[in-house]
Structure formats: structure tokens, C-alpha cells
């Protein structure tokens, strides 16, 4: 009988080690199960933690087959009370009465019926929690997410509840770099872009450069020595950075008025020493936004790892069946 604690796959607290994905754990368990000789099938079902983990993965597989699963999972998690309950049951089994007392310590006054229907039921349906007798506990999947999100206390506050997931998708996409409006329209439906950007800016998860001018001036390749430049023209020309600069910043750099700056820029353009280019407004992640996006990416990775592990369990079932091992019929439905 495979014992996960003895194997070092689950520490005594019952928590899966974060530095070992479920796929690695299951490969070790598969070898143990092939050499396992329980006295009876019920002994395997009742006592084997490997069996319980596999059974949990198969149950999750049915939920994860829903194409909207990740969106629904995040909507469940974007609730402070649910997250607090998930953390509580990840630390140990709790009755509804005990959870009610724990919530009261944090200033939440909920009836037991409300705790059951509004908070525990969604956690169970999405696969983060399970019930045994009159107590609730976090599944391995729920425990992994609880450990991840406990490090980011603002997770539930920063994102809109019951959303279509556009904010989450955009944040993850921005991990690769800043996005201009055209990039964002490829990620978020056009009719929702303004609302999504407003929400993320208000939550201070994304920001735009402080620079408000979008027309930038650049030096051309023309040799300036071939032109007769006035002192003011030379001053403005020399202040133009290779990366370009707006007229407003150029005026500050040269300590000239905007009117004078524009006047001499027109002269420099006439001499083909300067050209303009429109620089589109870009959005980037703030420090908080980067932390949020990284957390969302980590959630997605845990979901993918769990799905892949459930696929591995399906393959293990075939192996056990073919070798005549004990198998609960519930595992192959």
C-alpha cells in the first residue's frame, strides 16, 4: 500500500510540496501501486492516500473539462471570505460552526446557512474543498492554491468579481511587455477595452507613461554641418535624444517656451534635420500589477499541472486494469 508520508511525497501536515508537481508525485505512486498487495480492495480504498489523491484528480478532471473552468475558478477565488475559509480548511478540517467562529474573529458575521450556500458550496463545486461527515477540508488542488494566494493578500480586492476574465487575460499577456491599444484589442473584445483598462488603472495594476504628448521628434540622418543653424536651432537640435522626445520635454530641456520650441522645430524640419513620429499610448504593469499577473500565471500553471496529472491517472488505471490489480469501479466511470 502506497503511503505518501513515508515516501516523502506529502509532509506530515498533509500538504503537497510546492517544489514537486503532481506529475512527479504520481509517477512515484504508480511504481508503488504496481507492487502493492492489499489484503482486500476496501483496505486499498480506505487507507491508501495514493488512491485518495487519484480519486480526487479524477473528480477534478470532470470539472476541468468545462472550457470556462479557469474563469469560473478565478471568480470563486475573487472573494475575501471564500479565501479566508479556504485558508482555514487548508490548515485543518473544520465544521461549519468552527468556520463561523473563525470568521467572527475577522469581523464577518455570517449565518451557518450563508456560509454553506454562499462560500463553501462554490469551493466544493469548483474542486477546492471536500466534505467528510460534518467537516470540510481543502483538496490537494485547493491546498496548493491556498499556499499560493496566502502570499498575496490583495488578490480578491483588486479584480472584479464575477467577470468574464478579460482583466486576468490582459494582465497575464502584459507580462511579456507593455501593450498599445491595438495589442489590447487582440486580447480583449473591442467593446470591453475601455472598461477593462479603466478598472485596471483604478486598481493601480496598470499605468501609462506620464508623458502626455504622443508626437515625438527625432533627428534625421542628414548631416547638420551642411546647414547654417542659429544658436537656438543648434540648442534644440542637440537636445533631441536618439530615442526621440516630445515638444513639451524638449522645451523643459532647453528652458525655452513651447511657442519658441515649436517655431524652431518647424525650421529644423524644413531643413530636413528633424522628423516626427506618432508614438502610440502604451500600458504597462505596475509593481502590484506584475505581482498580480504572476499570481494569475501561477494559478494557471497549477490548473494545467492538475489536468495533466489527471490524464496520467487515466493511463495508470489502464495499467492496473490490464495487470489484474484492484480497482474501484468509480474510478473508471
If you write DSSP's letter for every residue of 43-57 in order, what string do you get?
HHHHH-HHHHHHHHH
Q: What are the residue boundaries of the structural domains of the chain, listed by start?
A: 79-158, 215-280
Please say whether the beta carbons of 293 and 175 come within 8 A. yes
Q: Are both 79-158 and 215-280 of the same fold?
A: yes
**Sequential pLDDT tens for the chain (333 residues):** 333 332 223 333 344 444 356 767 666 666 666 666 655 555 555 556 677 788 888 888 888 999 999 999 999 999 999 999 999 999 999 999 999 999 998 888 899 999 999 999 999 999 999 998 889 999 989 999 999 998 887 788 889 988 999 999 999 999 999 998 889 999 999 999 999 999 999 999 999 876 555 788 999 999 998 899 999 999 999 999 988 888 888 999 999 999 999 999 999 999 999 999 887 778 999 999 999 999 999 999 999 999 988 888 777 667 656 665 554 444 444
pLDDT of residue 17: 44
Q: 215-280: which CATH number, 3.30.1380, 1.10.10, 1.10.3450, 2.60.520?
A: 1.10.10
DSSP-assigned letter for residue 224? G
Q: Tell which phi-psi region holds residue 272, choosing left (phi > 0), alpha (psi between -120 and 50) or beta.
A: left
Question: What is the C-alpha to C-alpha distance for residues 285 and 175, in angstroms, rounded to an integer?
Answer: 8
Question: What is the C-alpha to C-alpha distance for residues 276 and 244, in angstroms, rounded to an integer?
Answer: 9
DSSP state letters, 57-111: HHHHHHHHTSTTHHHHHHHHHS-HHHHHHHHHHHSS-EEHHHHHHHHHHTT----
pTM: 0.70
pLDDT, tens only, 144-175: 999 999 888 778 888 998 899 999 999 999 99
Sign of CA dihedral 306, 310, 315, 320: positive
Which CATH number is associated with domain 79-158? 1.10.10.10
Distance of CA 135 to the CA centre of its chain: 30
Question: What is the C-alpha to C-alpha distance for residues 217 and 276, in angstroms, rounded to an integer?
Answer: 5
Question: What is the C-alpha to C-alpha distance for residues 204 and 207, in angstroms, rounded to an integer?
Answer: 7
Angle in degrees, CA 278, 279, 284, rounded to 5: 160
pLDDT of residue 320: 59
Q: Which residues contact 107 (CB under 8 A, 6 or more apart)?
A: none
Residue 284 parent element (H or E): strand 282-285
Q: Where are the alpha helices (DSSP H) in the chain?
A: 4-7, 22-34, 41-47, 49-64, 69-77, 80-90, 96-105, 112-114, 121-125, 140-149, 155-158, 166-173, 181-185, 193-202, 231-239, 247-254, 258-270, 287-322
* 3-state DSSP of 230-255: CHHHHHHHHHCCCCCEEHHHHHHHHC
pLDDT of residue 324: 57
Amino acid at each position: 500500500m502506497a503511503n505518501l508520508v513515508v515516501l516523502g511525497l506529502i509532509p506530515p501536515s498533509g500538504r503537497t510540496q510546492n517544489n514537486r508537481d503532481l506529475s512527479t508525485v504520481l509517477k512515484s505512486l504508480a511504481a508503488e501501486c504496481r507492487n502493492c498487495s492489499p489484503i482486500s480492495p476496501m483496505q486499498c480504498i480506505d487507507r491508501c492516500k495514493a488512491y485518495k489523491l487519484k480519486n480526487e484528480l479524477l473528480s477534478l478532471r470532470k470539472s476541468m473539462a468545462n472550457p470556462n473552468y479557469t474563469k469560473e475558478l478565478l471568480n470563486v477565488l475573487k472573494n475575501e471570505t471564500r479565501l479566508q475559509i479556504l485558508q482555514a480548511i487548508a490548515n485543518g478540517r473544520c465544521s461549519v460552526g468552527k468556520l463561523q467562529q473563525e470568521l467572527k474573529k475577522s469581523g464577518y458575521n455570517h449565518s451557518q446557512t450563508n456560509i454553506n450556500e454562499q462560500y463553501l458550496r462554490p469551493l466544493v463545486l469548483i474542486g477546492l474543498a471536500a466534505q467528510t461527515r460534518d467537516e470540510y477540508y481543502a483538496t490537494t488542488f485547493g491546498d496548493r492554491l491556498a499556499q499560493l494566494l496566502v502570499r498575496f493578500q490583495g488578490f480578491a480586492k483588486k479584480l472584479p468579481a464575477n467577470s468574464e476574465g478579460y482583466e486576468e487575460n490582459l494582465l497575464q499577456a502584459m507580462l511579456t511587455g507593455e501593450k498599445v491599444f491595438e495589442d489590447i484589442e487582440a486580447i480583449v473584445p473591442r467593446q470591453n477595452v475601455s472598461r477593462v483598462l479603466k478598472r485596471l488603472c483604478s486598481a493601480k495594476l496598470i499605468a501609462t507613461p506620464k508623458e502626455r504628448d504622443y508626437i515625438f521628434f527625432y533627428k534625421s540622418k542628414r548631416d547638420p554641418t551642411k546647414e547654417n543653424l542659429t544658436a537656438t536651432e543648434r540648442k534644440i537640435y542637440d537636445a533631441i535624444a536618439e530615442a526621440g522626445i516630445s515638444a513639451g520635454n524638449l522645451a523643459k530641456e532647453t528652458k525655452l517656451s513651447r511657442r519658441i520650441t515649436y517655431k524652431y522645430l518647424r525650421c529644423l524640419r524644413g531643413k530636413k534635420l528633424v522628423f516626427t513620429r506618432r508614438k502610440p499610448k502604451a500600458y504597462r504593469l505596475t509593481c502590484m500589477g506584475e505581482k498580480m499577473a504572476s499570481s494569475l500565471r501561477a494559478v494557471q500553471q497549477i490548473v494545467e499541472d492538475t489536468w495533466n496529472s489527471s490524464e496520467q491517472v487515466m493511463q495508470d488505471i489502464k495499467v492496473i486494469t490490464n495487470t489484474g490489480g484492484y480497482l474501484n469501479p468509480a474510478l473508471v466511470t
